[in-house]
C-alpha cells in the first residue's frame, strides 16, 4: 500500500500520536521523515510548503499540505472508512467532538506542557509562579474531565470512540506520566477508569505504553 502522506515532527509528539492512531484505524500509512528541530524546518524546501516553519506539518502523497494539529487529525480522520465514527455524522455530535478537540489544545496542552518543558525537557527556565499557575489550571482541567465522565462513561461523546477521546487521551497520558500523582488520582476515579479503558487498546498501547507505571518527574504539587 502506498503511503497516504507524511508528517514532519519531533519524536513522541502527542499531537502527532493521536493522528497516527486515527490513520491506523483508517488503514492509512503515514511516514515520519527524519526531522531535526531548527534545521529541517528552516530549509527552503520545507518553508516552500510550510511557510510558518512549524510542526506538525502534513504533506500528502498527492501534494496536499496542511498544518495545525487539529486540522491534520481531522483530515486523516475524514480520509478513511472510520470517518463517521471518528468525527460523527450529525451536527451536534460533530460540535461536541470539536469542543473536546479545542479543549485538548487550549487547556490540556498548555497546562501540561509548560510544567513538563520546565522540569523534564528543560526547554524553559524554571519559573515557580508560572509553573504553579499551570498546575492549578491543570487541576481545574482534570476536574472538568472527572465531572464529564460521571456515570461510568467510557467515551466523551456518544457510545463509541471518537476523535474527542483521541485528542484528550493523547495529552492526558503525558499528564499522568509526569504530573498527576497518586494523590491527584484519588480525586479522579472516573478519569483514571477512563484512561485505563484505553490502556490496553492496541492502537493506543503502540504509542502510550506503561503510562500508569511511570515514575513522576515533577515533585511540586501546589494546592487548589
Mean pLDDT of 25-40: 95
Question: Under CATH, what is the fold of the domain 88-213?
Answer: Glutathione S-transferase Yfyf (Class Pi); Chain A, domain 2 (1.20.1050)
User: pLDDT tens across 68-107, in order?
Assistant: 999 999 999 999 999 999 999 999 999 999 999 999 999 9
Q: What is the mean pLDDT of residues 27-48?
A: 96
**pTM greater than 0.85 (yes/no):** yes
Summarised one tens digit per residue, pLDDT across range 115-129 is: 988 988 888 899 999
Express as a percent the part of the chain with pLDDT over 70.
Answer: 92
Are the beta carbons of 155 and 117 closer than 8 angstroms? no
Q: Using CB atoms within 10 Å of the CB of residue 216, give its burial: 0 to 12 exposed, 13 to 18 middle, 19+ buried.
A: middle
Comma-separated ranges of CATH 3.40.30.10 domains in the chain: 5-83
In the chain, which residues fall in CATH 1.20.1050.10? Answer: 88-213
Mention the CATH class of domain 5-83. alpha beta
Q: Strands 5-8 and 30-31, how do they pair?
A: parallel
Helix/strand/coil (H/E/C) assignment for every residue in 85-124: HHHCCCHHHHHHHHHHHHHHHHHHHHHHHHHHHHHCCCCC
Amino acid at each position: 500500500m502506498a503511503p497516504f502522506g507524511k508528517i514532519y515532527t519531533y519524536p513522541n509528539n502527542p499531537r502527532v500520536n493521536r493522528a497516527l492512531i486515527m490513520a491506523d484505524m483508517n488503514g492509512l500509512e503515514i511516514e515520519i521523515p527524519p526531522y531535526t528541530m531548527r534545521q529541517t524546518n528552516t530549509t527552503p524546501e520545507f518553508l516552500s510548503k510550510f511557510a510558518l516553519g512549524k510542526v506538525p506539518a502534513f504533506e500528502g502523497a498527492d501534494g496536499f499540505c496542511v498544518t495545525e494539529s487539529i486540522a491534520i487529525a481531522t483530515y486523516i480522520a475524514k480520509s478513511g472508512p472510520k470517518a463517521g465514527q471518528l468525527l460523527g455524522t450529525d451536527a451536534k455530535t460533530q460540535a461536541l467532538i470539536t469542543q473536546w478537540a479545542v479543549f485538548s489544545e487550549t487547556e490540556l496542552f498548555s497546562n501540561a506542557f509548560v510544567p513538563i518543558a520546565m522540569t523534564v525537557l528543560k526547554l524553559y527556565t524554571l519559573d515557580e509562579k508560572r509553573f504553579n499557575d499551570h498546575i492549578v489550571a491543570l487541576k481545574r482541567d482534570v476536574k472538568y474531565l472527572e465531572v464529564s465522565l460521571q456515570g461510568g462513561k467510557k467515551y466523551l461523546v456518544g457510545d463509541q470512540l471518537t476523535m474527542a477521546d483521541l485528542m484528550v487521551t493523547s495529552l492526558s497520558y503525558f499528564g499522568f506520566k509526569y504530573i498527576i500523582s497518586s494523590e491527584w488520582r484519588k480525586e479522579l476515579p472516573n478519569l483514571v477508569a477512563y484512561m485505563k479503558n484505553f490502556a490496553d487498546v492496541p492502537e493506543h498501547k503502540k504509542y502510550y505504553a506503561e503510562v500508569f507505571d511511570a515514575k513522576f518527574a515533577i515533585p511540586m504539587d501546589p494546592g487548589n
